[in-house]
Chains A and B, each alone.
Chain A
Amino acid sequence: MLVNQFLMLGAVLFCIGVYGVIARRNAVLVLMSIELILNSVNINLLAFALRNGSADGHTFALYVIAVAAAEVGVGLAMVLLVYRNRKSIALDDLAEMKG
């Protein structure tokens, strides 16, 4: 197996996630796109861990998974709060801070 095949898979998933973050209007779908980005990072970390024969990549992949779980929990709580106040989770409706 080449190093590059895993890194390129990570790059493709990362770019699909970036497209999702830009294109989506629904807050839950934006959170899902962020999950795609975090997963592509994990693939890269583990590919480099195998390449260098070190356990650091595994450790940080586990930390990334834990941070992603915390992020989804807080993010969905915020989405729920926005929905309760406005009956909508469209992100471009949240424009009060625009000058």
Chain B
Amino acid sequence: MLAADVLVAQNIGFGVIAVIMVVGALRVVTTSNIVHAALWLVTVLAGAAAQYVLLAAEFVAVTQVLVYIGAVMVLFLFGTMLTRARIGAEKDVNNKNWFMGVPIAVLLLATMLLALNDGFGDEKLPADPDTLVNTQMISDQIFGPYLLPFWALSFVLLAAVIGAIVLARRD
């Protein structure tokens, strides 16, 4: 690939956001302070929203910001506060044999990168604005052919709400 192909604004944006996301994800799984892990997770989720915008998925990006950074993060911080007496670094956040995760993750990553390189190589994403997906097409999908999964998902959310209340209430 030529340098002129690499140095376009989209690719530079992708690279910067990707580095931020990977560093944030590594901090999520290595830091010993749970509140810091939650805040690094916000970085990763915001970076993911930015990547969705790069992938021309603006509706999913907005949903990501609303649901993940808004609701899920508040849930995580509540869970952290309700299950720990103090805010600060903890000693035992890792398993005794945590190092077994390193070779497993590296092997998995090597396999996936080899397979992706083999399968997609230098294939480019289409840049034609006429083929992009807009929000109307998404709603036509959700309320058309994917209506049954949508109903199932509504029941999953209802069951989750009731289940969370039943589990967490004090009798």
Give A contacts to B, CB under 8 Å.
1-9, 11-26, 28-29, 31-33, 35-36, 39, 42-43, 46-47, 49-51, 53-56, 58-59, 61-63, 65-74, 76-81, 83-84, 89-90, 92
Give every chain A residue within 8 A of B99 (Cβ-Cβ). 23
Kindly provide the distance from the CB of A80 to the nearest chain B CB, expressed in whole angstroms: 5
Q: B148-171 toward A: CB 8 Å interface, digit per residue (1/0)?
A: 011001001101110111011010
> Contact at A13–B124, with CB atoms within 8 Å?
no
> Contact at B104–A51, with CB atoms within 8 Å?
no
Give B contacts to A, CB under 8 Å.
10-11, 14, 18, 21-22, 25-26, 28-29, 34, 37-38, 41, 44-45, 48, 51-52, 54-57, 59-60, 63-64, 67-68, 71-72, 75-76, 78-80, 82-83, 90, 92-96, 98-102, 104-106, 108-109, 112-113, 116-117, 120-127, 131-133, 137-138, 140-142, 146, 149-150, 153, 156-157, 159-161, 163-165, 167-168, 170
B98 nearest in chain A by CB position? A23
Kindly provide the distance from the CB of A97 to the nearest chain B CB, expressed in whole angstroms: 18
Alpha-carbon gap, A62 to B117, bound state (A): 27
A1 and B93 in contact (CB under 8 A), knowing A13-B21, A19-B101? no
> Contact at A28–B109, with CB atoms within 8 Å?
no
Alpha-carbon gap, A22 to B93, bound state (A): 12
> Contact at A55–B109, with CB atoms within 8 Å?
no
A74 and B60 in contact (CB under 8 A), knowing A28-B34, A32-B37, A58-B141? no
